[in-house]
């Protein structure tokens, strides 16, 4: 009987400390609605009730923008700027990204329409105005177009492999990921497009336009 009582006491002790364990961080989906009419990724405006409202359908005293564990979804045309890290990016419209670093840490970047790097020539980051970073292996898919605007402005970079499954990557700038697997189209146009990566183009095409 003594052994049973000890076991029961240990069981109760385990239950008592269980609520102290740290809860896991849960991913959330953030959908851009552009409600502030401002381009900042984390921009807010004050509502009539005194709360703050952001571009992601959130209100409150400090409404959150998508972070490292979350997915950012763009169902409508948007222009945004600033530094951000997200687990997933899903674009279904025309997303114009201005000055800043956007890091996608998850395995997929979905682009079924158009992503445009729109550098402004100011506030350059390591010599580049617009940086799309891939800290881990990422697949670009969705059948859209990713446009890079200028050799000294647009950069795709990261320590992970980037696989272009079915997008058209076009324009000018720098691609310097750990490895680049092109299964669709890479088109240099309007200037120089540098690729400083190990490249597998066995299932894709590389086009150099006359301009």
Residue 94, both tokens: 């025309």
Using alpha carbons, select from 192, 146, 191 the residue that is nearest to residue 165. 146
- Token pair belonging to 119: 């550098």
Bridge partners for 164 per DSSP: 140, 182
Q: What value does the mean pLDDT of the chain take? A: 86
Confidence at residue 122, expressed as pLDDT on a 0 to 100 scale: 54
Percent of residues, the chain, with pLDDT higher than 70: 82
Tens of pLDDT, residues 44-71: 999 999 999 999 999 999 999 999 999 9
**DSSP letters spanning 56-114:** TS-EESS-----TTSEEEE-S-EEEBS-EEESEEEESSEEEE-SEEEEE-SSEEEESSE
Residue 32 lies inside a defined structural domain of this protein: yes
Domain of residue 202: give its range.
Answer: 24-208
Can you tell me which residue has the tokens 């990713």? 146
Q: Tell me the C-alpha distance between 76 and 71, whole Å.
A: 15
Q: What is the pLDDT of residue 9?
A: 37
185-198 pLDDT, tens digit per residue, is: 999 999 999 999 99
Give the pLDDT score at 90.
Answer: 98
Task: For residue 12, tell me if it sits in a domain.
Answer: no
Whole-number pLDDT of residue 26? 59
Q: Give pLDDT, residue 127.
A: 52
- Residue 93 in tokens: 């419209």
Q: Is residue 204 part of a domain?
A: yes
DSSP structure string for 162-199 = EEESS-EEEEEEEEEEEEEEESSEEEEEEEEEEE-SEE
The Cα–Cα gap between 191 and 176 comes to: 17
On whether residue 5 sits in a domain, the answer given is no
Residue 80 lies in a domain: yes
Predicted confidence at residue 118, as pLDDT, reads 80
In the predicted model, residues of the chain with pLDDT beneath 50 are: 1-25, 123, 125
The count of structural domains within the chain is 1
Does residue 152 fall inside a structural domain? yes
State residue 25's pLDDT score.
47
Neighbour-count burial of 81, counting CB atoms closer than 10 A to its CB (0-12 exposed, 13-18 middle, 19+ buried): buried
pLDDT value of position 72: 98
What pLDDT sits at residue 4? 44
Q: Is residue 6 part of a domain?
A: no
pLDDT at position 121: 54
Contacts 24+ apart (CB under 8 A), 40-46: 40/80, 40/81, 40/82, 41/65, 41/80, 41/81, 41/82, 41/83, 41/84, 41/100, 42/82, 42/84
Give 20's DSSP letter. G
| Cα distance between residue 54 and residue 125, in whole Å | 26
Residue 196 lies in a domain: yes
d(CA 36, CA 40): 9
């Amino acid at each position: 009987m003594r052994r049973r009582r000890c076991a029961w006491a240990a069981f109760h002790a385990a239950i008592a400390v269980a609520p102290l364990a740290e809860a896991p961080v849960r991913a959330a989906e953030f959908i851009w609605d552009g409600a502030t009419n401002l381009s900042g990724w984390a921009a807010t405006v004050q509502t009539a009730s005194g709360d703050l409202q952001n571009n992601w359908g959130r209100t409150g005293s400090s409404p959150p923008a998508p972070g490292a564990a979350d997915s950012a979804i763009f169902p409508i045309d948007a222009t945004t700027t600033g530094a951000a890290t997200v687990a997933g990016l899903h674009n279904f419209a025309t997303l114009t990204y201005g000055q800043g670093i956007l890091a996608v840490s998850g395995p997929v970047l979905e682009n079924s329409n158009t992503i445009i790097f729109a550098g402004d020539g100011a506030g350059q980051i390591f010599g580049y105005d617009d940086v799309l970073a891939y800290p881990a292996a990422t697949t670009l898919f969705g059948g859209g177009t990713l446009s890079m605007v200028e050799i000294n402005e647009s950069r795709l970079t990261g320590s992970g492999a980037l696989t272009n499954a079915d997008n058209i990557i076009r324009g000018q700038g720098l691609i310097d990921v750990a490895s680049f697997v092109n299964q669709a189209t890479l088109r240099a146009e309007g200037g120089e497009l540098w690729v400083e990566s190990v490249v597998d183009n066995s299932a894709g095409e590389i086009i150099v336009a006359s301009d």
